[in-house]
Structure 1
Amino acid sequence: MVLKMKILSVESSAASCSVALSDNGVLIGEEFTNVKLTHSETLMPMVKNILDNTKTDIGTVNVFAVSNGPGSFTGVRIGVAAIKGMADGVGKPCCGISTLETIAYPFFDRNCVVCSLMDARCSQVYTALFENGKRLTPDSAMLISELADSLKSIDKPILFAGDGATVTYEKLSDSFDNIILADAQNRYQRASSVAFLTEKYINSGKLPVSANELLPVYLRLPQAERELKKKKELKK
């Protein structure tokens, strides 16, 4: 059974920030920025713009969705907190979508393996593989050298997408003849992909959760916590 739904989605897991509104599978509004402003400054004004420009009452939104990680700890936290607050305020459910799957979504119909990549710094990336709209590997954090080892067995074209795609491509392109860099306009995740994936999951039976149940997905500890943990281990 296909459910009818209006979805407000946000994506703030990296440098760019976007907000989208879809109605029964049709995108009716999206706003995207990639500027040197913090998401705490831009996100909620963008939400207001979308609602105002589409003449949508927030109370008519059926589901609130967000890319809930992995990604920038601050960005993921801001996006999740915003969606939880809006959903709780009008008593509606939430849906968290993997940022890496959000990156891959525009390429689901490509005849290739999509390698979603987010820069995790220190020569590491957050990554996952997809093909024909299906997930091949779980979201994970790994060294670029470890990723290279995992890609050696793939004999199909591999498309790199995400904010970690360029740096990874530059490091691996001499060693692989089957990797492709996604075009710039589709390389970064967008809130519209979050909305479409949310509708896909709900119509396939995955139920949204309450605002209290929605959680960020970090894959690893924030840097401050990693440094604190290291200091504690050195003292043992």
Structure 2
Amino acid sequence: MYLGIETSSAVSSVALMDTTKLVGELTVQAGLTHSEQLVPHIELLMQQSGVAKSDIEGIAVSIGPGSFTGLRIGLGTAKALAYAWQVPLLGVMTMDVLAHNFWQWEGLIAVMIDAQKKNVYEGLYRWEDNQMRCVQEPTVKVRTDALTTLGELKEPVTVVGDGIIKVAATVSDFGTNLTVGPTTMRIPRASSLLLAALPRFLRQEPDEALTVAPYYIRRSEAEVVWDAKHPELAAQMKGQEPTVVVTEAAPALSDEVPHA
């Protein structure tokens, strides 16, 4: 049994899956913070599914790009549980998660995650040879430029992710080949996270828990502002690990999750 944790956006999603079926999933967009709802959701899902902590063989967690705060909370929780339960931890790109909503989908899948200031993180995927393949690695683009380029392609393109929420109604204006994914499929879900992670779990290729870190692509706004206010210190720290990358473990949560 595997636990999936997805907190890269405003969506909080947790799921339980074994090698043959989805056992349970709880996905909520209620406006609450992940710090308020993540652990209670894990506890509720395990109770309702009749799953004990001793049943968990591995944990998969979304690592971004996405919300800086959400990723820290999700990854901190996943690390704490993996340590407490002594199970493997696996980090999965948020774009891979969104793409796996579209199992056996025809056409190009364009994943766009909000990068603020009219920019998006864009990754392109295609279902080929019975698996989801990434055909363009995540990169930062101006949203209108990305949509214009996609609209010039000679094939159907399905656009998903919170990066197109503000322009969803006008996406087809950039090209008649562009459509927005269905409402339930345009958000990252923990079940799709586990679909992406399962092959690696079965190959016994988990990440080293201490080395799993959020994948931000670019630095946070807070760091940019800090550097502008402290140019000399910023120059000295150039090349060092970003301060926003999680290195500390979250408080142990094992006692808050049902025991066998």
TM-score, structure 1 normalization: 0.90
RMSD of aligned residue pairs (Cα, Å): 2.1
Query: Deviation string for 1:26-53 (max 9, x for gaps)?
Result: 1101111101110000000000011111
Deviation at 1:151, TM superposition (A): 2.6
In the alignment, structure 1 residue 212 sits paired with structure 2 residue 210: yes
Number of residue-to-residue matches in the alignment: 230
Query: Deviation string for 1:63-100 (max 9, x for gaps)?
Result: 10111111000001111111000000111111111101
Identity level (%): 28
In the alignment, structure 1 residue 129 sits paired with structure 2 residue 124: yes
- Contact 1:130 1:136 (8 Å CA) reproduced: yes
- Contact 1:116 1:165 (8 Å CA) reproduced: no
In the alignment, structure 1 residue 65 sits paired with structure 2 residue 60: yes
Partner of 1:25: 20
Partner of 1:155: 154
Q: Structure 2 residue aligned with 1:81, among 69, 76, 79?
A: 76
When residues 181 and 82 of structure 1 are mapped into structure 2, their CA distance, relative to the original with a 3 A threshold, is same
141-150 or 22-31, which deviates more: 141-150
Hey, what's the Cα distance between the residues in 2 that align with 1:191 and 1:111? 22
Hey, what's the Cα distance between the residues in 1 that align with 2:79 and 2:122? 26
Question: Which stretches in structure 1 are left out of the alignment for 5+ residues?
Answer: 1-5
Partner of 1:144: 143
Hey, what's the Cα distance between the residues in 2 that align with 1:15 and 1:129? 22
When residues 150 and 91 of structure 1 are mapped into structure 2, their CA distance, relative to the original with a 3 A threshold, is same
- Contact 1:85 1:211 (8 Å CA) reproduced: no
- Contact 1:166 1:181 (8 Å CA) reproduced: no
- Contact 2:4 2:193 (8 Å CA) reproduced: yes
Deviation at 1:117, TM superposition (A): 1.1
Partner of 2:226: 228
Partner of 1:178: 177
Query: Deviation string for 1:144-184 (max 9, x for gaps)?
Result: 14424643563111100111233354565323121011111
Deviation at 1:187, TM superposition (A): 1.2
Hey, what's the Cα distance between the residues in 1 that align with 2:171 and 2:49? 44
Hey, what's the Cα distance between the residues in 1 that align with 2:109 and 2:215? 21
When residues 168 and 101 of structure 1 are mapped into structure 2, their CA distance, relative to the original with a 3 A threshold, is farther
Hey, what's the Cα distance between the residues in 2 that align with 1:175 and 1:30? 35
Q: Structure 2 residue aligned with 1:41, among 33, 36, 39?
A: 36
Query: Deviation string for 1:177-212 (max 9, x for gaps)?
Result: 210111112111100111111102334x47102321
Partner of 2:98: 103
1:63 partner amino acid: G
- Contact 2:148 2:174 (8 Å CA) reproduced: no
1:61 partner amino acid: I
Hey, what's the Cα distance between the residues in 2 that align with 1:63 and 1:69? 19
When residues 170 and 227 of structure 1 are mapped into structure 2, their CA distance, relative to the original with a 3 A threshold, is farther
When residues 226 and 33 of structure 1 are mapped into structure 2, their CA distance, relative to the original with a 3 A threshold, is same
TM-score, structure 2 normalization: 0.82
Query: Deviation string for 1:203-232 (max 9, x for gaps)?
Result: 4x4710232122111111111101122344
108-117 or 160-169, which deviates more: 160-169
Hey, what's the Cα distance between the residues in 2 that align with 1:187 and 1:152? 19
